[in-house]
Structure 1
Amino acid sequence: MTILCVRFQLPSAHETAFPELLGLLEEFTPVVEALPPDGALADLRGAERYFGRGAVELASVIRVRALALHGVDCVIGAGPGPMLARVAQRAARPGVTCAVSAGEARDFLAGKPVAALPGVGAATARTLCEYGLDTLGRVAAAPLSTLQRLVGAKAGRELHEKANGVDRGRVVPNAVSRSLAAERRFPRDELDPVRHRRALLSAGEELGARLRAVEKVCRTLTLTVRYADRSSTTRGRTLGEPTAHSADLTRTAYSLYEALGLQRARVRAIALRAEGLGPADRASHQLTFDPADEKARRIEEVADRARAKFGPRAVMPGGLAA
């Protein structure tokens, strides 16, 4: 299961929280498709690789964070594609993710009314029901030629595939923000600049690894420092070139931090946000002919493979190993 369909249970007083809840999903993946007024699809392929957890486990984390940070519960369905995730979400209940695997899809759909299938409107459902095709199981068993005569060649083929659990859809990102974030909270208000820099290193490493996992690069890096009195300072910088290279992100984070000129500030949390995301395969990388830079990138590739196999803490910079 890679795709989540999340339906936030938003009371009228919390409707303005929807963009923030989309931002919560984007902390796990930039591939988020908003379904206003209260839902979203999220493709977790990269997140599963980075966090070393399946979609159902990540769904539980998302629900806990939505409750803790926004006081909003949610109902979540999981499946190998958007269509199955949406149908699963309708069958889910608060606190329990309804997950449907590819092998379970046909049996899961069989007893449901044809109108339960996303994209099947009232007119199409009425036509099918007139011919006794009132459940998805009956639609799945019907000859393709029969469905095409009833609803048209293309629509009939798509209907036949979907009723049989074939989900060719994809999540199309359309959320307002295009970002990933990593935050480091201190167990107590922290004055030590060394620990501040260690948190920046950790967040920069995480952001880089997550960007590479979803094959994205970022154009802008934003630093937010939250203080003991609940105030905060935010600074951003457009990068010289789009990147997902952890070392570049960390260097920029250090520079933003130093520019704040903090003097014995009691820091409660430090957050980095990568913004202006775009496809990595469309980004240009300026060749430096610096052997150290090329070596660092090769090491990064090896480290990513190790993390994908053994988990996000399998390989860490020396500054974080202690």
Structure 2
Amino acid sequence: MDTKRHIVHIDLDSFFVSVERKFDPSLNGKPVIIGGSKERGVVASCSYEARQYGIHSAMPSAQAYKLCPHAIFLHGSYHRYSEASAQVTQIIADTVPVFQKASVDEFYIDLTGMDRFYDCYKIATDLRQKVIRETGLPISFGMASNRTIAKMATNKAKPNGQLFVEHGKEREFLAPLNIGAIPMLGEKTCQKLYEFGIEKIADLQRTDIRFLQTVFGKFGRNIWEKANGMDDSEIVPHSDRKSISTETTFDKNVADKKTLENVLVSMTEELAFKLRKENKLTSCLAIKVRYANFETHTLQEKIALTSAEHILIPGIKNLLARAWNQSRPIRLIGVKLSQLCQGNYQINLFEDNEERLNLYNALDKINFKYGEKTVCRAAGMEIGTRGFNPFMRG
């Protein structure tokens, strides 16, 4: 007999805004937007009061200002968010046996098998109350037989609520919802389905899977399965891997600053791309310098959570200037990004504008499709045009 799965999706409501409200209660009940100023930047998070005006994450701040001129714009407090996320993560780790941290404010928990001894819904309820009690942050959860339904149940329960979709009632729960409620179903896909008169998930449930496969290829089956409440993806246990690094050994010792900086740019780009690909952020960067006599020096620096090259590269160049005795040629150089945590790229964009966000998205799409380093910064390209192979992978 198949074991019934009990998957919980837990999500901190308007996380950045909620953290800011802890420190400034005067923000309660007001439309708050995190991410730059009203003139420039991108919305990283917004309160439910702001969402009533049509504002959402990733929207240009200037557009958000037009929709709600009386909104309160805040740049954001990186370290506060990181500390709050770590506190919630520790509470969850101390309470449940298996969980996956999907981002700084989102978690999946697997309670499968515990129903033989405990009430799984009560476990999730008690956990939610513990987080609220110990952190003062509003949090919602959904519980169901798989990840997709659990996440959709959380979205239905928000703000600051909880919902259990009983086993066998998945299709019934999904049927009245708009197709846009299905996670990972993009706007273009939804528009295509709307053209065929498919608006509710119930419409998708009645649609022949062969038609969806004809229109969307292999993705058509995935759409049909999600609409019918099918998802066998596993909860990947939370990983404690805390760093990624790369280093370069030169064929000949190098003392040219420009060459060293170009190599560092290329290496930092590579690591930053890996961070975004794995949905991770770093809060500490380090440089490693080894001279011809094998004397080795390392230097590190704490930074705000990020996965963006335009933040990491200047930091790495600054570390090079501090760590390198420029009278001595270098045999090996390396970059390390540590103190990693789960989190998507949006958290890095408090100071960014729409153009920079679009640029990163475009570069990553090309590199995801055609392989790493298909496109890169001009400084990184110079390495390959100087007529020598500057490094071998360490």
TM, length-normalised to structure 1: 0.50
Calculate percent identity across the aligned residue pairs.
25
Q: What SS does the aligned partner of 2:92 have? A: helix
Find the counterpart in structure 2 of residue 119 from structure 1: 184
| C-alpha deviation, 1:169, in angstroms | 1.9
What does residue range 166-245 of structure 1 map to in structure 2 within 5 Å?
166-176=230-240
| C-alpha deviation, 1:96, in angstroms | 4.3
Paired letter, 2:183: P
Q: Where in structure 2 are there 5+ consecutive unaligned residues?
A: 21-79, 243-394
Paired letter, 1:55: C
| Structure 2 residue corresponding to 1:12, chosen from 10, 19, 30 | 19
Paired letter, 2:170: A
| Structure 2 residue corresponding to 1:62, chosen from 123, 127, 135 | 127
Q: In 2, distance between residues paired with 1:93 and 1:120?
A: 20
Q: Do 2:12 and 2:105's aligned partners in 1 also have CA atoms closer than 8 Å?
A: yes
Tell me, yes or no, if structure 1 residue 42 matches structure 2 residue 109: yes
Q: In 2, distance between residues paired with 1:76 and 1:41?
A: 10
Q: Do 2:139 and 2:161's aligned partners in 1 also have CA atoms closer than 8 Å?
A: no
Q: In 2, distance between residues paired with 1:20 and 1:84?
A: 26
Q: Where in structure 1 are there 5+ consecutive unaligned residues?
A: 179-322
Q: In 2, distance between residues paired with 1:165 and 1:149?
A: 21
Tell me, yes or no, if structure 1 residue 97 matches structure 2 residue 162: yes
| C-alpha deviation, 1:57, in angstroms | 0.4
| C-alpha deviation, 1:38, in angstroms | 1.2
1:25-54 Cα deviation digits (max 9, x unpaired): 1223342121223111111125445xx322
Q: What SS does the aligned partner of 1:27 have? A: helix
Q: What SS does the aligned partner of 1:34 have? A: strand
Q: In 2, distance between residues paired with 1:47 and 1:177?
A: 27
| C-alpha deviation, 1:168, in angstroms | 1.5
Q: Do 2:19 and 2:84's aligned partners in 1 also have CA atoms closer than 8 Å?
A: no
Which is further off, 12-21 or 129-138? 12-21
Paired letter, 2:225: E
Distance of aligned partners of 1:176 and 1:73 in 2 relative to their CA distance in 1, 3 Å threshold? farther
Q: In 1, distance between residues paired with 2:165 and 2:105?
A: 22
Q: Do 1:35 and 1:41's aligned partners in 2 also have CA atoms closer than 8 Å?
A: yes
Q: Do 1:56 and 1:97's aligned partners in 2 also have CA atoms closer than 8 Å?
A: no
Q: Do 2:7 and 2:150's aligned partners in 1 also have CA atoms closer than 8 Å?
A: yes
Q: What SS does the aligned partner of 2:95 have? A: coil
Q: What SS does the aligned partner of 1:45 have? A: coil
1:169-210 Cα deviation digits (max 9, x unpaired): 2212235489xxxxxxxxxxxxxxxxxxxxxxxxxxxxxxxx
| C-alpha deviation, 1:139, in angstroms | 0.7
Find the counterpart in structure 2 of residue 165 from structure 1: 229
| C-alpha deviation, 1:100, in angstroms | 0.7
1:246-283 Cα deviation digits (max 9, x unpaired): xxxxxxxxxxxxxxxxxxxxxxxxxxxxxxxxxxxxxx
Q: In 1, distance between residues paired with 2:86 and 2:114?
A: 20
What does residue range 137-176 of structure 1 map to in structure 2 within 5 Å?
137-152=202-217, 154-176=218-240
Q: In 2, distance between residues paired with 1:108 and 1:41?
A: 20
1:196-250 Cα deviation digits (max 9, x unpaired): xxxxxxxxxxxxxxxxxxxxxxxxxxxxxxxxxxxxxxxxxxxxxxxxxxxxxxx
Aligned length: 175
Tell me, yes or no, if structure 1 residue 128 matches structure 2 residue 132: no
Q: What SS does the aligned partner of 1:78 have? A: strand
Q: In 1, distance between residues paired with 2:241 and 2:97?
A: 9
Tell me, yes or no, if structure 1 residue 107 matches structure 2 residue 172: yes
Q: In 1, distance between residues paired with 2:109 and 2:237?
A: 9
Paired letter, 1:173: P
Q: In 1, distance between residues paired with 2:129 and 2:19?
A: 21
Distance of aligned partners of 1:95 and 1:114 in 2 relative to their CA distance in 1, 3 Å threshold? closer
Q: Do 2:19 and 2:137's aligned partners in 1 also have CA atoms closer than 8 Å?
A: no
Q: Do 2:12 and 2:138's aligned partners in 1 also have CA atoms closer than 8 Å?
A: yes
Paired letter, 1:8: L
Paired letter, 2:189: T
| C-alpha deviation, 1:102, in angstroms | 3.0
| Structure 1 residue corresponding to 2:95, chosen from 16, 28, 41 | 28
| C-alpha deviation, 1:71, in angstroms | 1.6
